[in-house]
Amino acid sequence: MQNRMQIVSPFVMSLNRIDHWYWCRYFIDVYPECPYRCSYCNTIRMGSVRGLNYIRGLPKGGSTIGLGLVSDLYHPEPKHNRAARSVLEILLGRNHQVSIQTKSTTIERDLDLLRQFAATGSLRVTFSVLTLDPRIAANIEGQAPAPEQRLNTLSILSEAGIPAGIAITPIVPSLTDNRQELARLVREAKRRGARWVLFSGYTPVSSFLQEPPMHRVRALYDNQKRLDNRYREIKRFMIDLLREEEIPLRIPRPNPGPPDQRYHARIVSEQLFNIAYYHELLESPIESARFRRAAHQINDLDSSIKSIVFRKKLGYIKGINPEIEKVIEDIVMNGSCTLCENLKIKL
Ligand code: SF4
């Protein structure tokens, strides 16, 4: 194992706190620059994501590691394929959980390892797919496999029992935000077995706006108010669409682990992060910030949240107001929460 790690020479990075989109604090990248070179990418090079610090060695076993969030783990050149497999073998051997984001179809070759992760609920695979339109995809992410191929791979993984979903990140206003096309993409992904659909808006890198596909619509990006309104409409459309299709717009957190004293904290913090995200989408920034702060506090707790609830000591935790206290009590005591039901968040 040690030798393989030396051959691959991955970069291990950490955030100060958990990333609540992919549920990891730690990330591994194999390449200093992503091989797919999508023209809209704003994380294409090492160091382009703020808040990531390089660390030596791997974190302690049982941590969730993000793979391919900065640069894709799977290289289009077959001669590099061994690298991804080596990383997975090492992480599997150390009982880490893994959240992979990829545009690759090569991941199919590691199905045997992915099955082993999935057997313990320790894996999430998210395929980045912005559009089903092959011409648009060829224009903006020409070195990645076509969207249809990525969905085929999703289907293969899904049939093998691997929890997988898609990320429409970013939705590019005026280029990939056609409603019929977004609905077609979501339904097709669902048909192929996607268990979640992430989506996000887009803050363009300036070089992208110079690309030919953007010439026609560049004026929209010069008018922040119009751009914000456009994204607001897309968000509402996507929330309604995903509710109608009953697909979560969040990745379920990987296995909450053994029923130790931190078990309930992981479950509660997942739901608090979910509520924070819904408030963010529904444009309630203060509520969103409150729930996110509480989620971090609970996630970082060393003691048992269940015992804190039973001893009625929740109010002593910084940032937990009576409304959040009620949500936490509901989740711990009843496994459900009225606010989640109102927001149509599945527990
Ligand atoms: S695959 Fe992802 S990380 Fe790589 S260039 Fe494209 S958007 Fe960026």
235 and 317 part of one domain: no
Residue 18 domain-assigned (yes or no): yes
Alpha-helix residue ranges (DSSP H) falling in the chain: 2-8, 81-93, 111-119, 134-140, 147-159, 179-191, 206-209, 212-215, 218-221, 224-245, 263-281, 285-299, 305-310, 322-334, 338-342
224 and 313 part of one domain: no
**Total structural domains within the chain:** 2
Residue 256 domain-assigned (yes or no): no
Q: Which residue has the higher pLDDT, 250 or 214?
A: 250
pLDDT tier for residue 46 given thresholds of 50, 70 and 90:
low
pLDDT of 260 > 80? The answer is no
Judge contact between 12 and 240, C-beta under 8 A: no
pLDDT tier for residue 48 given thresholds of 50, 70 and 90:
low
171 and 132 part of one domain: yes
**Which of the listed residues 189, 218, 245 is the one where a domain comes to its end?**
245
Average pLDDT over every residue of 205-215: 82
Decide: 41 in ligand 1 pocket, CB within 6 A: yes
Which candidate, 157, 176, 137, places its Cα nearest to that of 36? 137
286 and 230 part of one domain: no
The parent domain of residue 283 ranges over: 263-342
Amino acid identity of residue 90, one-letter, is: I
Residue 347 domain-assigned (yes or no): no
Query: 129 CA to middle of ligand 1, Å?
Result: 11
Question: Which tokens sit at 65?
Answer: 């590691």
**Which of the listed residues 194, 216, 245 is the one where a domain comes to its end?**
245
CATH number of the domain that residue 305 is part of: 1.10.150.110
Residue 85 domain-assigned (yes or no): yes
Average pLDDT, the chain: 89
pLDDT of 50 > 80? The answer is no
94 and 18 part of one domain: yes
Ligand 1 mutation pick, 45, 100, 128, max ligand atoms within 8 A of CB: 128
pLDDT tier for residue 220 given thresholds of 50, 70 and 90:
confident
Query: 68 CA to middle of ligand 1, Å?
Result: 8
Judge contact between 36 and 76, C-beta under 8 A: yes
Residue 258 domain-assigned (yes or no): no
217 and 313 part of one domain: no
104 and 221 part of one domain: yes
Query: 43 CA to middle of ligand 1, Å?
Result: 7
Residue 255 domain-assigned (yes or no): no
66 and 196 part of one domain: yes
Residue 253 domain-assigned (yes or no): no
What global pTM score does this model have?
A: 0.92
pLDDT of 194 > 60? The answer is yes
With both helix axes pointing from N to C terminus, report the angle between 147-159 and 179-191 in degrees, rounded to the nearest 10: 30
15 and 97 part of one domain: yes
Report pLDDT digits (tens) over 61-95: 888 999 987 789 998 887 777 889 999 999 999 99
Distance CA 38, CA 140 (A): 6
331 and 273 part of one domain: yes
Distance CA 202, CA 39 (A): 13
49 and 88 part of one domain: yes
CATH number of the domain that residue 198 is part of: 3.20.20
Of all protein residues, the one whose alpha carbon is nearest to atom 7 of ligand 1 is 41
Residue 257 domain-assigned (yes or no): no
**Which of the listed residues 245, 273, 290 is the one where a domain comes to its end?**
245
237 and 271 part of one domain: no
Decide: 38 in ligand 1 pocket, CB within 6 A: yes
Query: 17 CA to middle of ligand 1, Å?
Result: 23
Q: Which residue has the higher pLDDT, 97 or 54?
A: 97
With both helix axes pointing from N to C terminus, report the angle between 322-334 and 285-299 in degrees, rounded to the nearest 10: 50
